[in-house]
Amino acid sequence: MIRIKTGTTIKVRLPLALLLAAAALVAVPRARAEEFRLFPDPPAGPRDAVDFQRAVEPELQIVDVEHAYPWYAGRADAGLELAALAGPFEFQDAPPAADVPQEPPPPSVTVPPPKLFTTSTTLVTAGALVGGFLQGVGAPLQYGWIGWNVTDEGWFGRDTYVGGADKISHFVISSGVSRALYEAYIAQGKTVNQSFNLALATSFMAGTFVEIMDGVSVYGFSFQDLTVDALGTAAGLLIQRNHLEDMLGLRLGLANTPIPPEAVGSSVATLGRSYNDEIYAADFKPAGLVRRLGGKPGFERFFLTSFVFYTRGFGYDPPLATRYQEVGFEVGLNFPEILRALGVDEKTWWGTGLQAIFQFFRFPFTQVGVYYNLYDNKWYGPGAPYSYY
């Protein structure tokens, strides 16, 4: 190290300053490639210095000042440490990382999921299953218990059991049961998925119980019936889950149709129902479509259109030559909308009950339509469901 005494004249200091300036000018071209160091690199130590040029953050500072180079001349390898500022213009030592107390993580709180089968849910589910069992057990109790048997009833052919009316009946009834169960589970606080799955399983199992009981009776187990049970259940739940009940519906109606004695002749009624007194409707309600298109329904909300199906003259042996199937198109009253207009509160139990009744049942003489006889290929007027042609 060059030491300059206090008494040295300006003539001695000026050449030294010029020499240092020249050395700095020589080092400038290489400044980009390598760092200029006045002293050799110190050996690595337990407290290696952090490059001071990188410590440009305002929240960083030099610590251990009294032992840091160049004040501590006894250690050429003394380094620089960085620590967070505790406050403005305040230096403090940073404790070693190992000495920093670590707070234990907060205990995880596990919230148990809501109980699926509450008392009310169990009662509703059990009630539906018992209802299916009681519906099915009526056959063996009435006609006797026999060994397990399976029957192939067919689908909608004219030579089938009742021309497909039983299949449509299973479909519509299953849809109504599943929709009622879905709303019951929703009212109990179940989620949409829980209500959908519970109603699907319960409704299908209720239909399965019916078919199992048929399997030990003269009716026999029918895979066709079970298939339409599943389809009807799914259709009803899709309508309800997607809130389409104000636009789509499935209904069952009574339409007693006496068959003239001359048409029956010597035939006798066979075992089982003939379905000659039922009619089935698939409804479309324009008011629901208008709402989905962003409009406000007017007077048309009190009406609906329906596609209907029914059979007449089936269930006799020998089969009646005049039996037939009929389809039709109707315009009828939309009773759920009429009830809303009259101020019926759907949040009450009786208001909900009235809505459910009118959404599931087709009431006679509340609609007009035209009907096509698939046997004689003729169209008939509004009274066709109540007359035998």
One domain, residues 258 and 388 = yes
**Residues in the chain where the model's pLDDT stays below 50:** 1-36, 46-87, 89, 91
Which stretches of 144-250 are DSSP H helices? 165-187, 192-215, 223-241
| Per-residue confidence (pLDDT) for residue 229, from 0 to 100 | 96
Amino acid at site 318: P
Q: Which of 202, 222, 242 is the last residue of a domain?
A: 242
Q: How far apart are CA 237 and CA 314, in angstroms?
A: 31
- Residue 378 within a domain: yes
Q: How far apart are the first and last CA of the chain?
A: 128
| Per-residue confidence (pLDDT) for residue 12, from 0 to 100 | 40
One domain, residues 141 and 199 = yes
Burial 99-111 (b: 16+ CB within 10 A, else e): eeeeeeeeeeeee
One domain, residues 344 and 320 = yes
Quickly count: other Cβ atoms within 10 Å of residue 48's Cβ: 12
Number of domains in the chain: 3
Which residues share a beta bridge with 317? 268
Q: How far apart are CA 371 and CA 16, in angstroms?
A: 120
239 within 8 A of 165, measured Cβ to Cβ: no
Which residues constitute the domain of residue 74? 10-87
One domain, residues 123 and 198 = yes
217 within 8 A of 137, measured Cβ to Cβ: no
| Per-residue confidence (pLDDT) for residue 47, from 0 to 100 | 45
One domain, residues 168 and 199 = yes
Q: 176: which 2 tokens? A: 């109504």
- Residue 133 within a domain: yes
Q: 240: which 2 tokens? A: 């309800």
Instruction: Collapse the DSSP code of 316 into the 3-class scheme (helix H, G, I; strand E, B; otherwise coil) and give the result.
Output: strand
One domain, residues 182 and 193 = yes
Strands 378-380 and 361-362: what pairing? unpaired
- Residue 98 within a domain: no
Give me the helix-helix angle, 165-187 and 192-215, nearest 10°.
Answer: 140
Q: Which of 223, 242, 261 is the last residue of a domain?
A: 242
212 class by beta-carbon count within 10 Å (0-12 exposed, 13-18 middle, 19+ buried): middle
| Per-residue confidence (pLDDT) for residue 87, from 0 to 100 | 47
Q: DSSP code of 46?
A: T
264 within 8 A of 290, measured Cβ to Cβ: no
Quickly count: other Cβ atoms within 10 Å of residue 149's Cβ: 13
Q: DSSP code of 77?
A: T
| Per-residue confidence (pLDDT) for residue 101, from 0 to 100 | 63
Q: How far apart are CA 91 and CA 80, in angstroms?
A: 14
One domain, residues 383 and 347 = yes
One domain, residues 250 and 389 = yes
- Residue 385 within a domain: yes
310 within 8 A of 279, measured Cβ to Cβ: yes
One domain, residues 287 and 228 = no
Those residues whose C-beta lies under 8 Å from the C-beta of residue 275, and which sit 6 or more positions away, are 162, 165, 166, 169, 310, 311, 314, 315
| Per-residue confidence (pLDDT) for residue 91, from 0 to 100 | 47
- Residue 225 within a domain: yes
Q: What is the layout of strands, in order, in the sheet containing 248-254?
A: 361-362, 248-254, 278-284, 303-312, 324-333, 367-373, 378-380
Q: Which of 87, 108, 142 is the last residue of a domain?
A: 87
- Residue 100 within a domain: no
147 within 8 A of 221, measured Cβ to Cβ: no
Burial 135-148 (b: 16+ CB within 10 A, else e): bbbebbeeeeeeee
Q: 61: which 2 tokens? A: 């500072």
Q: What is the pTM of this model?
A: 0.70
One domain, residues 131 and 214 = yes
One domain, residues 69 and 199 = no
One domain, residues 291 and 332 = yes
- Residue 2 within a domain: no
- Residue 366 within a domain: yes
Rg of the chain taking only CA atoms, in angstroms: 45
Q: How far apart are CA 259 and CA 345, in angstroms?
A: 43
Chain segment 87-112, per-residue pLDDT in tens: 454 545 555 555 566 777 676 767 77
